[in-house]
Structure 1
Amino acid sequence: MATVSLNPGAYVFTLENLPQEIQALIYRFAVVEPSRWTKRHSLKCDITPSRANQMEPPPFVFSEVQLNYKATKMTTTTRCSCAKRKGLSLLLVSKFINRIASPIFWSQNTFCFLDAVEFIAAVKYNLRPEHREMIRSLSIISPDPSGAPIHISFAGERSKLMDDFWKTIKNCPSLQKLEVAYAYIQPTRKVSTHEHLDEMAEMLPNLSAISLCFLVPISRRGRGWDYPPPYYHDEWSHQVLYVKCSRSLPLLREKRWEEEELNNLYRDYHFNFRVYVSTASKIKFCGADIERLENYYGSWQIPKTLNAESNSRRLQLPNGETTIVKVYGLPLSAKARNVRVRYAKAQAQKNERRPDGTRVAEHEAMKMAKRRKRLNRQGEMEKERDEYQELQLARGVRRADLKAMEDKAARDEARTEAESVRKGIEATKVNRRLERKRVTNGLTA
């Protein structure tokens, strides 16, 4: 009977050894994410509400994009990273993985933008043509009815770039789904939108219709606070509901688009459909009264069944039409709030223990005790140093006094010696005079 020796090191399991179909499923799970509009804050994010009925602002409202005047370069800053994509680093692991995962990433994700100039800077100037050709789903929606949100800082003129906007869309041949702000279909002197729509029907065979979308911001503060800038961080600034609604604009038509037809369509969106959606949303979602619609923020009451986990509703518009909307910026459901509380408790319990097993409070107490000992030791050392300095100062004073006494004694001794010498000299002089007188007297006698 033949024996087979198994060498454990002869075979190493890696993703590359799996069939490419299984690899594609794994990579799809890693790189395909929900759209930017539907993303929520993570439990670790500071913006996630912790109180009941507190509204959760969607992550996309915290994005702030700065573009140069030509819209060729952009810089994006955000208060939190909850809206950022998490699986992009996988595309940089190796060329083999990039070759399989890159088509999945570009073809199965929906790429969302807040403004047309942001889309131009990202897709036209900062994206490779081979990647642009893989894109199948695009969404350009603005909270501002004019299509120029305050989240985008652009010094140039947007109307001059709308022609580039439609041309860039037509350079995405695999496009199957397109959402744009309804403000972009309005023809102008500089942009012939109707001609672009006719060309899109020929150049984009997989795109049968365009979804004209808009966001209706409903602020809890009422008029003057439609939606906040991304740099507002106070609690009231982001108490805003965003109602997303859309209508389909077919591209496959028997006749060509006319400029006046698009103008009428834009006016119907802006002055009728958008207003109807806003009115119905305030009545159904905020508890407003049709007779006192302007004071809807005074009777603000969001239904309990409407929450961040259940945000899709069918609206009955004042003109009798029905439409489906999605609401963003809603409070958490009771289930999600409980998950948030459990997560906070788990984090608190985890933070009670250090990696070495000691409690954080005990560790802090030990640190305080060591600090007190160190301070006491430093105080004792400073006291000893002060006492030594005082002793040295006293010794210096005593040495100075002794030296002064010695100098005085030396001066007194020198003075005494000089006085004795002077007296000796005077005595000698007196003796000499006496001797001279004696001699003189003896000679005269």
Structure 2
Amino acid sequence: MSALTLNIRPTPGKYIQPRKGLFCLGQLPLDIRYLIYEFILIEPKRRGIEHKSDCFWHSDRLRLLEPPAFLLKDIVISEEPHRLIWDLDGYYWPGSTMCRCDQRKGLGLLLTNRQVHAEAAPLFWSQNNFSFLSGHEAIAALNHLVRPRYRDLISSITVLSADQRGTPCNVRFASDTTQGCGPVPWDSFWQTMIRCRNLKAIEVPTVALETCPDGFHQLATEKPALNTNLVDLIPFRKWEDNLFSYPAGTHLEECYDHKHDIIYAETSSRLPTVQELRSSGEEPCIDIWKTRARERKNLLRRTREVIKETCLRNFDEQHNYQWRLRPIIDSKETRFVRLDLGEGIYSSVKFYGLPASLKEARQLAWKEHLKDEKFKKLKGMYPSHHESKMWHRWFREVVEEEGLTEEEGAELRLTGYYYTVSDDAETANIEPPHTQPKIDLSHLHGITEPRRANRGILWFKRTTARFDAEKRRKEKKRDLEMICRESLDDDDDDWY
């Protein structure tokens, strides 16, 4: 047997040259491209997406409830022409408070070119779950907005509303935005589901089956293998003990202050398919679905009572902010609970809107601490002190421009002055054009002579300087105490 000789190139870079020019996605094999499409376009269900850490609605405290991202929408349905408007282009919501955490991120891939769109579009429409907040929204989208050839590819649909009647207040018609859409025509909804030829799984509230069982019977008969789940959200808020409770107001701008005070319990129940009923020797009929809907309604009422008894404390008190979550659901880590409803019946419940866990709160606190320390190295003070300094600087300028006296400046400082910063202005770089001073001078007296005004301004400057010096002295003392405490404390794992 002849010996084998292995030659190792001394300088591999001499023979391997990097690719020049742009890389074309079409040069990859088809199976690799499908893996890329699947990674970018296929996303979890909308209600499974949580807020990002930089989102306005993200909870970073132990007792601050975090409203679910999929419910923070204000949808208007336009009929002429048919169109869905999300968030009204920021009309009702300020730019800093709009939540877009649950929006699909990879749709730009479909606009690459015709080849990529032809290959990726069927995967996008057939493998994703499409969620709606109301039956009205589903009817408008699937009947008028989605092309029929794409509608035939949809395999999974979810209608999940925070209102158990199926009429949430944040879904409205453009003809009358002061009121909700009203009752959903569930017969039209079931007819729309029949037009989805590739539909394999559907999740709807119990009211859809209870209101129109004959429409569902027609759908189930035409699609014997259809997997159907009855999914309901039970809202809990302190100030209204009502099974059909939902945040007050006609749209989200009026519910703004109540979002952090509501939690939602999701319960689901699977309906048997027509194939399963026929294999068990039972012929499917409308009475079967009516019975299932009645049983489901009773189960929802019992589930709500058990949740109030086992998961919420002081629920019956009249004060809005006095009730607390029991340890069984005190954070997002304990959102899944199995409840004993009695008589050998158990129900699995998933909670939305729970606050951050202790571990997450500590991690976020540590990140904020590092962020403040970095800011201090750049500016020489913490962000809170920097904001206070900027406030005092602008207030001094206001006093000088208005020529106010010492008494008038003190009165204005206590009652009449505040400022706001625009969304695109950073806290660390506040400049005069970015501020919007709002001053109410109607309660002040007329301007006195300039000499007296100058004396008051000088006294105010000296007082402010002493105040700032005292703040810096306390800051240095606090930093020194922190360094001594850290040197004595060897266990720093609690921050992590």
Using structure 2 for the length normalisation, give the TM-score.
0.62
C-alpha spacing 1:350/1:98, structure 2 compared with 1 (3 Å): farther
1:147 Cα deviation from its structure 2 partner: 1.1
Q: Secondary structure at the match of 1:143?
A: coil
Per the alignment, residue 232 of structure 2 pairs with 214
Confirm or deny: 8 A CA contact 2:329 2:354 kept in the other structure.
no
Unpaired stretches in structure 1, ≥5 consecutive residues: 373-445
1:201 aligns with 2:227: no
Match of 1:340 in 2: 364
Q: Distance in 2 between matches of 1:117 and 1:25?
A: 35
- Which whole-Å deviations, capped at 9, do the CAs of 1:395-438 have from their partners, x for residues lacking one? xxxxxxxxxxxxxxxxxxxxxxxxxxxxxxxxxxxxxxxxxxxx
- Of 162, 183, 191, the residue aligned with 1:167 is 191
Residue 55 of structure 2 aligns to a residue whose secondary structure is: coil
Letter in 2 for 1:325: V
C-alpha distance in 2, partners of 1:128/1:101?
16
Structure-1 separation of matches of 2:34 and 2:151 = 20
Alignment of 1:148-187 (within 5 A): 148-154=167-173, 161-187=185-211
User: Which residue pairs with 2:59 in the alignment?
Assistant: 49
- Taking a change above 3 Å as real, the CA distance of residues 17 and 309 of structure 1, as seen in their structure-2 partners, is farther
Which residues of structure 2 form unaligned runs of 5+? 1-13, 88-92, 397-496
Amino acid at match of 2:159: I
Residue 91 of structure 1: CA displacement?
Answer: 1.3
Is residue 61–residue 355 contact of structure 2 (8 Å, CA) maintained in 1? no
- Does structure 1 conserve the Cα–Cα contact (< 8 Å) formed by 2:235 and 2:264? yes
Shift of 1:212: 1.0
- The question of whether the paired residues in 2 share the 8 Å contact of 1:45 and 1:80 is answered with yes
User: What is the deviation of 1:164?
Assistant: 2.2
Aligned position for 1:376: none
Structure 2 SS opposite 1:273: helix
| CA offsets 1:8-45 (integer angstroms, 9 cap, x no match) | 55675443222222222222221222211121111111
* Distance of 2:78 and 2:228 partners within structure 1: 29
The one-letter amino acid of 1:30's match is: I
Equivalence for 1:243: 265
| CA distance in structure 2 between the aligned counterparts of 1:133 and 1:358, rounded to whole angstroms | 61
- Aligned amino acid, residue 280 of structure 1: V
- Cα distance 1:175–1:306, how it changes in 2: closer, same or farther (>3 A)? farther
> RMSD across aligned C-alpha pairs, in angstroms?
4.0
1:419 corresponding residue in structure 2: none
Q: Which residue of 2 aligns with 1:27?
A: 37
Which residue is equivalent to 1:89? 108
Residue 205 of structure 1: CA displacement? 5.2
In the alignment, which of 129, 142, 148 is matched to residue 123 of structure 1? 142
Question: Could you say what secondary structure the match of 1:331 adopts?
Answer: coil
Cα distance between partner residues in 1 of 2:225 and 2:373:
54
Distance 2:81 2:264 in 1: 27
Measured in 2, the distance between the counterparts of 1:95 and 1:238 equals 45
Q: Is the 8 A contact 1:117 1:158 kept in 2?
A: no
Cα 1:206–1:128, aligned 2, differ >3 Å: closer, same or farther?
A: farther
- Residue 357 of structure 2 aligns to which amino acid in structure 1? S
Structure 1 contact 201–251 (Cα < 8 Å) conserved:
no
Cα deviation, 1:56-85, whole Å, max 9, x if unaligned, reads: 110122211112468943211163111211
Of 271, 285, 299 in structure 2, the residue corresponding to residue 273 of structure 1 is: 299
> How big is the shift at 1:243?
0.6
Q: CA deviation at 1:329?
A: 0.5
| CA distances 1:339-368 after superposition (whole Å, capped 9, x unpaired) | 4334444555666788xx99999x999xx9
Would you say 1:141 and 2:165 are equivalent positions?
A: no
Q: Distance in 2 between matches of 1:350 and 1:86?
A: 31
State how far apart, in whole Å, the 1-side matches of 2:308 and 2:16 are. Answer: 71
Give the partner amino acid of 1:97.
V
Between 56-65 and 7-16, report the one with greater CA deviation: 7-16
| CA displacement 1:229-268 (0-9 Å, x = unmatched) | 5324655443111111111112313355544444443333
Asked whether the equivalents of residues 276 and 319 of structure 1 are also in contact (C-alpha less than 8 Å), the reply is no
Aligned length: 358
Please identify, of 172-181 and 78-87, the stretch whose mean Cα deviation from structure 2 is larger. Answer: 78-87
Question: Which structure has the greater CA radius of gyration?
Answer: 1
1:98 aligns with 2:124: no
CA change 1:27–1:360 in 2 (3 A) is farther
Contact 2:239 2:318 in 1 (8 A): no
- Change beyond 3 A, Cα 1:177–1:349: farther
Measure, in 1, the Cα distance between the counterparts of 2:77 and 2:18. 56
2:253 aligned counterpart, secondary structure: coil
Amino acid at match of 2:138: F
Q: C-alpha deviations, 1:301-354, integer Å up to 9, x for none?
A: 332665224422211114431121111111112233234334444555666788
Q: Sequence identity, in percent?
A: 27
